[in-house]
Amino acid sequence: MHISDGALAAPVLVGGAVLTLAGVCLGLRRIDLDNIMTTAVLASVFFVGSLIHVPLGPSSVHLLLNGLAGMVLGWAAFPCILVALLLQAVLFQFGGLTVLGVNTFIVALPAILCRLLLQGLLAKGGKAAAISGFVGGSGAVLGTALLAAVSLGLSDEGFLPTARIVVLAHVPVMLIEGVITMFAVAFLVRARPELLGNRSGVQPGLHVEHPQSDSRETARMSILLLLVASCLALPGRAEAHKVLVNAWVEGDVLLVETAFGDGSAGTKAQVTVRDQASGQVVLQGVADEEGMARLPLPEAVREAGNDLQVVSNAGQGHKATFMVPADELVGQSATVPQDPPAIASGDASETGGATALGTDVAMPPGIDVETLRLLLRLETSRAVREQLQPLRRDLRTLQQQGPRIADIVGGIGWILGLAGLAVLLRRPGRDTSCPPRS
């Protein structure tokens, strides 16, 4: 599974890197000098495994085997998969460098989940182990495909259809991985029963424990972790390019305002208005220097009484949509009298002052009380609406800024990253029996 360079947004890349960093920290703690060679050999085995092409119909697919890697390696799968992906990127230019964090995370997390969930069944051996092999092998690929889809979707909502295709394309791979992992697990359980069921992950080559934790290394890793985590705290760039669109009706003009999240105006934005029901483009225009587009509403649009979908494209894929509900159009057109009663509107507005409410005030000739009341109500409601427009605009802008999935995922990344840091700092006591450094 490779997401290529250049497709993902910066927050997703950083988030993936932070999560991978946390996972690698946890994984490295499981590796000591007695099993580092075993781990490295297993990493190379799974690297070779990912080069195996298995026939599928007229073509062939290459295996991922992350489920099996998780079952054998446990948490050490994180650094191993990172190393394997780095080797792939440098030796074959597969995958990519900037997406290394995201790719490692989306491959390694399902692998580890596989082990955590299926450990009990694997230890039973026999058919239970074989079945859990199938479940783990296919589940890990499914998890990887889903996480890839999520990272695409988080980067750009327009990627969602492509993400769906990615998941669908992995279904055959999933089945093959399941079958192959099932057979491999069945073989391993028979040949080396203690390999998959044990709790400690990688077995040390020699069973002598002397953890050497290097405090400088821990400190360096923590600093790195905090540095990357603090990158997440600078969401300015991503937020600056969030496009906000707002549209409202004033009289018979549809006003569309386009702005970026940092407050700068979306100048020269292409505004397209579609009829929500029929999907036809009813209005088009370009925003001015202040990001405002004034589009006169044709009578036909008002009479159709459908919701309007306003799409503003500020270029470079910065696009946002806003819905103008039908009642806003209808409300305005219905309250504006097409043909005012037989009075001069100028007179009405002059007399429509503070004194007009009382009926005992001397009336100008030719206007009865009911007409005046109607006119007043119309004028007042229009004035109130105009006064309220900026407020409603602000409200809508606020509503559009609710927490996005990216924020939530970023938050989880923070929590995990800090948890990883806490685990790092709580290092085991120094073992004095290890040989002194030369």
Partner 1 sequence: MIREPFRAGDTMLHRADVRIKLATCGGLVCLAALLRTTEASLAALGVGAIALTLARLSPVEAACRLAAANGLLLLLAASLALTYPGTTWEHWPMLRVEGAVLGLRIAIKANAVLCLVLALSATSSMAEMAQGLRRLGLPKKLVLLLAFSYRQLFVTAAEWERRRQALAARCFTPRMSLHSYRAIAILFGQTLLGSLDRAGRIQEAMRARCFHGVFHMLEAPGKDRAPATLENTGMVLAALGCGALLLALEAGWII
**Phi, psi torsion values for 42, nearest 5 degrees:** -65, -40
Report how far apart, in Å, the C-alpha atoms of 17 and of each of 92, 226, 410 are: 21, 12, 11
Structure tokens at 6: 């250049």
Q: Which is nearer to partner 1, 86 or 356 (CB)?
A: 86
Beta carbons of 295 and 269 less than 8 angstroms apart: no
- C-alpha–C-alpha distance, residues 321 and 336, integer Å: 28
- C-alpha–C-alpha distance, residues 52 and 99, integer Å: 23
Least Cβ distance, residue 431 to partner 1 (angstroms): 12
Least Cβ distance, residue 316 to partner 1 (angstroms): 5
Does the protein bind partner 1 through residue 94 (CB under 8 A)?
A: yes
Site for partner 1 in 190-209 (CB under 8 A): 191-192, 195, 204-206
Binding residue for partner 1, selected from 118, 135, 149, 176, defined by CB under 8 A:
176
Three-state DSSP at 228 gives helix
Does the protein bind partner 1 through residue 73 (CB under 8 A)?
A: no
CA 345 from centroid of its chain's CA atoms: 55
Does the protein bind partner 1 through residue 150 (CB under 8 A)?
A: no
Does the protein bind partner 1 through residue 129 (CB under 8 A)?
A: no
Three-state DSSP at 36 gives helix
Least Cβ distance, residue 373 to partner 1 (angstroms): 49
Does the protein bind partner 1 through residue 114 (CB under 8 A)?
A: no
Does the protein bind partner 1 through residue 425 (CB under 8 A)?
A: no
Beta carbons of 275 and 290 less than 8 angstroms apart: no
> Among 395, 81, 419, 32, which residue's Cα sits nearest to residue 210?
32
- C-alpha–C-alpha distance, residues 81 and 32, integer Å: 17
Binding residue for partner 1, selected from 10, 150, 304, 326, defined by CB under 8 A:
10
Does the protein bind partner 1 through residue 279 (CB under 8 A)?
A: no
- C-alpha–C-alpha distance, residues 117 and 113, integer Å: 6
Binding residue for partner 1, selected from 116, 165, 357, 423, defined by CB under 8 A:
165
Beta carbons of 27 and 42 less than 8 angstroms apart: no
Site for partner 1 in 209-238 (CB under 8 A): 212, 214, 217, 220-221
**Near partner 1 by CB under 8 A, which window of 90-98, 103-111, 113-121, 260-268?**
90-98
Q: Which is nearer to partner 1, 46 or 248 (CB)?
A: 46
Q: Which is nearer to partner 1, 92 or 358 (CB)?
A: 92
Site for partner 1 in 42-61 (CB under 8 A): 42-45, 47-49, 51-52, 54-57
Does the protein bind partner 1 through residue 292 (CB under 8 A)?
A: no
Which residues in 74-91 are b (16+ Cβ under 10 Å) and which e?
A: bbbbbbbbbbbbeebbee
Least Cβ distance, residue 306 to partner 1 (angstroms): 20
How much of the chain is in helix, strand and coil states, percent to nearest 5?
60, 10, 30
Does the protein bind partner 1 through residue 278 (CB under 8 A)?
A: no
Does the protein bind partner 1 through residue 102 (CB under 8 A)?
A: no
- Strand 53-56 relative to strand 59-62: parallel, antiparallel, unpaired? antiparallel
The DSSP 8-state label assigned to residue 254 in this structure reads E
| Contact letters for partner 1, residues 357-396 (x by CB under 8 A) | ----------------------------------------
Count of residues touching partner 1 (by CB under 8 A): 86
Structure tokens at 144: 């990887």
Site for partner 1 in 299-358 (CB under 8 A): 313, 316-317, 319
